[in-house]
Structure formats: structure tokens, C-alpha cells
Chain A
């Protein structure tokens, strides 16, 4: 917990000749077990307290924006997987929706609901990782080992739907590659039944735990106006008390039909961020339940893609028996379908903030420009301001509670 100290006093610009201070430089990272990813921070320390810190990023930069300019639209989906790899399906869906917006494809309601189920599952998986890691960094490993089983259940659901677990490459432009199998539905229902109790158990371990509260309350606090100036979005902004959520502000994928609340915090400290995520998981569960109810009411059980022959692979029997289908199959797989000229910005509420795609097309098979608005990259620059005057061990907690994902940070 941060001591009541005058932060100006620690500022390196303030010279106090009567009390000569000697500062140490501490290099945290690039690979450090406590930072959960490739982050380097060169910290100027006064004993245990941080005077200033300077981040170095880009250790796992993979030039996604450049590669995307040379790949057809289907081949960009795997690139988006590798940004926030804790919730890849969210990135995939966001990307598909961006392309659909450019093409003006009308998406069937059933696809919207299926997407919502997947997106909310991904959000839960991401929050599970973040919140349990906050526990780990404050010294409570137990919660992490308990709740990671439920993340495993979510990954099994992904596996049933698309065959992959971490970097999912899920869905297609216009919908999904196949309908959800019975096994997938069974697993979703099992998860819905078992998870609330596990979440409660996890919450009981940490939420009112004296040690956890002492370690997190008032650690790395941030005010709402600074957060807005720094471009915070997602749970980090909501913990500061601003109820901005893309799902409500600019609904996509039929989110406007769903009934859920946006949890907000007050102080924007580590505890608030933890609590906001905790509540969001419960809201996500309710959204999934609502989506399933809506799907159950639908008579149509077979639609899982928009009827747009330019981007949906024809059925296999037709490919083998019909020349036109074979040609289309080839064109789609090789990405030979041209995209209309245009530019769109589309954003979704990813697990750690507003994930935006700015897509400019000049009519070719690849984008002329694709810019990813990566929430981590934008809010991680406020880190020095958040940890200034705090202790080193609190800085580690602050970083894990901000949910900075190295893959997304460096693109």
C-alpha cells in the first residue's frame, strides 16, 4: 500500500541540497517472472520507492500492420489472434465485423447471438487470467490454481467450435465456418452451470481478504479526467468511474437487445479494477444466458453465416461436383475476391478496452491500410504516472491489474 508521501519530493527535478539523496537504477525486465510478458521498465528508485520509470516496448513487435497490407482479408484473421492472445475470439469477431461493415453485409440475428456467446466467453476467459494473476502477484496463488480450470472449460468450448484453443482464427467474414455442434452446446451449458459457484469461491478467497485489500486498495489510483486524457478504455476506465462501454455506446452485433449493467469503480485503484472485472464476468454470464434464451426461441437452428457467396465457402459436395463452386472455393481460399473502395472504423469492447480497426481499402485484394487501435498500447503509457511514489511491489501489482498484454502492446 502506498505511503502518504509528497510525490513532488521524489521528483528528480526537485533538488534538496541539505538532504543529499542517492537514487538507484533498477532494470525490471525485459523478461521478468513478475511482469507476465515482455516488458522492460528502467526504474529510478529511492530505496523501495519509485521516483520515475521509463518503459521500453517493442520486444515482440511483429509488424502486423505492414503484413496486413500484403495479405488478403482472410489471412489477416490469424494476425488479430496474436494481438490479445488471452481473448483471441474477440479480436477475430471485431475484425470480421469491420470487413462486414465495409462490404455492407447484413448479418442474420442468429449469427449475432452466436457471436455474442463466444465474445462473452472470451471476455470471461480474459478476466479470469487478469484477476487471478492479480492474486498471484499479491501472493495468493490458490485462487489462480482454482479458477484456471474454468478457463480450460472455455478453451474446450473454443475447441469444439473452431478446433483451436489459444490462437483461434475463429469464424469467417459473414459468420462461422460451421454450426455449433451438440457437444459444443453441452459444454456451454455445463460451463454456465458450474462457473458461478467457482467464481463465488474465487471471490471469497480474495474480495474481503484483509491481506489482499491492504495490498490493493489505493495502489496505483488514477483519476477519471487523467484516465480520459490518457485514452483509457475498458475496465481500467470504468474503475475510475466513467461508464464508457462500446457495447452500450455504439452497439454492435445486436448488443442493444441485451439487458446488462456496466459496473464502475470509484478510485481507479487496483482493487477497483479487480472488482469491476469480477462484476463484468457475472454480467457476461447473464448476457450468455440471454443469448441462449433468444436462440432457443428462434425456429431457425441452421443459419450460421450470412448468405454472401463472395466470402462463404460453398459446401464440400458442391466443390467436388460443380465447377463454379470449385472456382469460388479457390477464389475465396486464395483471397482473390476484390473488396470495394472505402474506409471504415469499427470498434468493439474487447476484454481490456476499445479495440478498433481502421480499414482503408483501395479496391484491391488486400487493405491499403489497416490500423489497429490497441487498448493496451494506449493506456500503458500512463504507467509511470500511476506508479510514481509507490513501492516496487505495488508497481508490479498495478501492472498486472492494468491487464497489459505484450502481444497487443507491440502488435
Chain B
């Protein structure tokens, strides 16, 4: 378990609400990490603010990954940030709707977001606006599907010789 630092968590939430107001949709501590949902319009400003604010200093983007919520017809992006100075980790979430999945890029904040966003685009089809080179990275270029979405089948559905229903697949 990571150390839960109530004071720092509170500080992050207060600072963010002070600056972005209603764009901070929700905050809660899940397991051992503060988790903040942010409106997608301000996501790059929030990330930049978290990086540069003197008391917060989230200087390191640990990881970035896509999510698919089929029930609410939304796609999401989850950022894990880490402040080395304060040894504090937080999770930022943002969502976009399935029909027009665009989210501002974080590459201007951290160059490391480049490949992570390409991977997210590759698997979820989330378009990162302002990304310098948003092309597929792990899958082949000719592919038209976004395979990590829940509606994409794991195995070839045309096969009839396998019955995996007993195994929940």
C-alpha cells in the first residue's frame, strides 16, 4: 500500500477547485490513491497546473491509459501522476463520448505522453487533439477497428468449432 497522505490529498483538491471550479467533477480516495475526475475541456490545463504549481509539483507522468465504459457509452483516459518531491501519487480521470472521442493532448506537458497517447488511440480510438504524430503504434496501420473496446471480440467470432461459453469467455 502507498502511504495515504490526507493533508496532501486535501491540498491538491483545494488548489484544483480554487483554480478550475466546476471543471473538477469529483474527487475521492479509492484504495490508497486520490482519484480526481476532470472535465475534458480543461485536462491539459489541469495537468500543466499540477506540474508547475509550487506546492504540488507533479513532475512525473507515471502512466496514461484508455478506458471503455460501455454502459454509459463513454471512453475515458486515466493519468497517473507522481510528485517525486512530495512522494505523492494521484490519479486523474477524464471521459469523452463514444461518438466524438476527442481529448486534448498531454504531449506538450510531458513528451513521454507521446507514445502512451498513440497506444491509447491505437486501442481505443481516442483522438488526442494537438498530438504531433497520432498514428497506430502496436497494431498494423491497415487496421480499422479499435481492439480494446469492449465490443471487439477476443477471438474470431466466425469460428464454430469452439464453445467457450462454459468458461465465461
Q: Would you give the 0/1 interface string for A331-358, flagging 1 where the beta carbon is closer than 8 Å to chain B?
A: 0001000000011110100000010101
By a CB distance below 8 angstroms, the chain A residues around B123 are: 65
Interface of chain B residues 131 through 149 with chain A (CB within 8 A): 137-140, 147-148
B72 on interface, CB distance cutoff 8 Å: no
| Bound Cα distance from A102 to B33, whole angstroms | 12
Give B166's nearest chain A residue, CB to CB: A334
Contact B65–A371 (Cβ < 8 Å): yes
**A366/B91 in contact, CB under 8 A:** no
Tell me whether A102 and B31 are in contact in the complex, defined as CB-CB below 8 angstroms, given that A57-B138, A244-B84, A358-B80 are known contacts: yes
Tell me which of B19-27, B94-102, B108-116 binds A: B108-116
Across the interface, B138 reaches (CB within 8 A) one of A229, A366, A371, A411, namely A411
Which of chain A's residues have a CB closer than 8 A to the CB of B60? 228, 231
Residue A323 lies at the interface, judged by CB distance under 8 Å to chain B = no
B67 located at the interface, meaning its Cβ lies under 8 Å from any Cβ of chain A in the complex: yes
Q: Which residue of A lies closest to B93 (CB)?
A: A343
A342 interface neighbour in B30, B114, B140, Cβ under 8 Å: B30
Minimal beta-carbon separation of B138 from chain A (angstroms): 4
Which single residue of chain B is at the shortest CB-CB distance from A373? Answer: B63
A320 to B77 Cα, complex, angstroms:
48
B89 contacts the other chain (CB 8 A): yes
**Is A366 touching B168 in the complex (CB atoms < 8 A)?**
yes
B168 and chain A: residue at smallest CB distance? A365
Determine how close the nearest CB of chain B comes to the CB of A325; give it in whole angstroms.
22
What number of A-B contacts does a CB cutoff of 8 Å give?
A: 94
Question: With A66-B154, A365-B168 given, is the CB distance from A381 to B115 under 8 Å?
Answer: yes
Could you tell me if A58 and B138 are in contact, using CB atoms closer than 8 angstroms?
yes
A224-276 at interface with B (beta carbon < 8 Å)? 228-231, 242, 244, 249-250
Task: Determine if B148 and A65 form an interchain contact, defined as CB atoms under 8 angstroms apart.
Answer: yes
Give min CB distance, A335 to chain B, whole Å. 8
Residue of B31, B67, B84, B115 near A378 (CB, 8 A) is: B115
| Distance to closest chain B CB from A233 (angstroms) | 9
Cβ distance B89 to chain A, nearest Cβ, rounded Å: 7
For chain A residues 249-308, which have a beta carbon within 8 Å of chain B? 249-250
| Chain B: minimal CB distance from A292 (Å) | 26
Interface bin, chain A:
35 or more
- Taking a contact as CB atoms under 8 Å apart, the answer to whether B154 and A230 are in contact is no
B37 contacts the other chain (CB 8 A): no
The chain B residue with its CB closest to the CB of A248 is B87
Contact in complex: B89, A345 (CB < 8 Å) = yes
The A interface, classified by DSSP as helix, strand, loop or mixed, is: mixed
- The interface residues of chain B lying within 8 Å CB-to-CB of A343 are 30-31, 35
A242 cross-chain contacts in B, Cβ below 8 A: 84
B33, B59, B137, B154: the one contacting A70 at CB < 8 Å is: B154
In the complex, the answer to whether A410 meets B138 with C-beta atoms within 8 Å is yes
Compute how far the CA of A249 lies from the CA of B62 in the bound complex, rounded to whole angstroms. 14
Q: How many residues of B contact A (CB 8 A)?
A: 41
Q: Whole-angstrom distance between the alpha carbons of A356 and B33 in the complex?
A: 14
User: Once bound together, how far apart are the Cα atoms of A231 and B107, in whole Å?
Assistant: 12
Establish whether residues B116 and A378, one from each chain, have CB atoms under 8 Å apart when the complex forms.
yes
Q: Are B112 and A345 in contact (CB under 8 A)?
A: no
Q: How far is the CB of A75 from chain B (nearest CB, A)?
A: 10
CB neighbours of A109 from chain B (8 A): none
Q: Beyond A229-B111, A250-B2, A358-B65, is A344–B31 a contact (Cβ under 8 Å)? A: yes
Distance of A185 Cα from B39 Cα, bound (Å) = 55
Nearest-CB distance from A1 to chain B (Å)?
A: 27
Asked if A67 is at the interface (CB within 8 A of a chain B CB), the reply is yes
Q: How far is the CB of A199 from chain B (nearest CB, A)?
A: 31
CA–CA, A65 to B120, complex, Å? 12
**Which chain B positions have C-beta within 8 A of A373?**
62-63, 80
Query: Any chain B CB within 8 A of the CB of A369?
Result: yes
Does A14 sit at the interface, judged by CB under 8 A? no
- Contact, CB under 8 Å: A229 / B110: yes
CA separation between A381 and B113, bound complex, in Å?
10
Indicate whether B103 reaches chain A with its CB closer than 8 angstroms. no
Q: Is B78 an interface residue (CB 8 A)?
A: yes
- Name the contact of A358 in the complex, choosing from B61, B78, B114 (C-beta under 8 A): B78
Q: Does A61 sit within 8 A of B, measured CB to CB?
A: yes
Query: Given that A58-B138, A356-B62, A373-B63 are contacting pairs, would A231 and B80 also be in contact in the complex, using a CB cutoff of 8 Å?
Result: no
**Docked pose: A57 CA to B115 CA in angstroms:** 11
Q: Once the chains are docked, how many angstroms separate the CA of A67 from the CA of B164?
A: 14
A228-B59, A354-B62 given; A249·B87 CB < 8 A: yes
Identify 13 new A-B residue pairs, CB closer than 8 A, beyond the known A249-B84, A377-B115: A58-B138, A102-B31, A228-B60, A229-B111, A230-B112, A345-B33, A345-B89, A345-B91, A356-B80, A366-B168, A369-B68, A373-B62, A373-B63
Q: List residues of A whose CB falls within 8 A of some B CB.
A: 57-58, 61, 63, 65-67, 69-70, 101-102, 228-231, 242, 244, 249-250, 334, 342-345, 347, 354, 356, 358, 360, 365-366, 369, 371, 373, 377-378, 380-382, 410-411
For the complex of A and B, 5 pairs with smallest distance between CB atoms:
A231-B112, A58-B138, A371-B65, A373-B63, A61-B138
What would 20 A/B residue contacts be, using CB atoms closer than 8 Å?
A: A66-B148, A66-B152, A67-B154, A101-B1, A101-B32, A228-B60, A230-B112, A231-B61, A231-B62, A250-B3, A334-B167, A344-B32, A344-B33, A345-B33, A358-B65, A358-B80, A360-B67, A369-B67, A377-B119, A378-B63
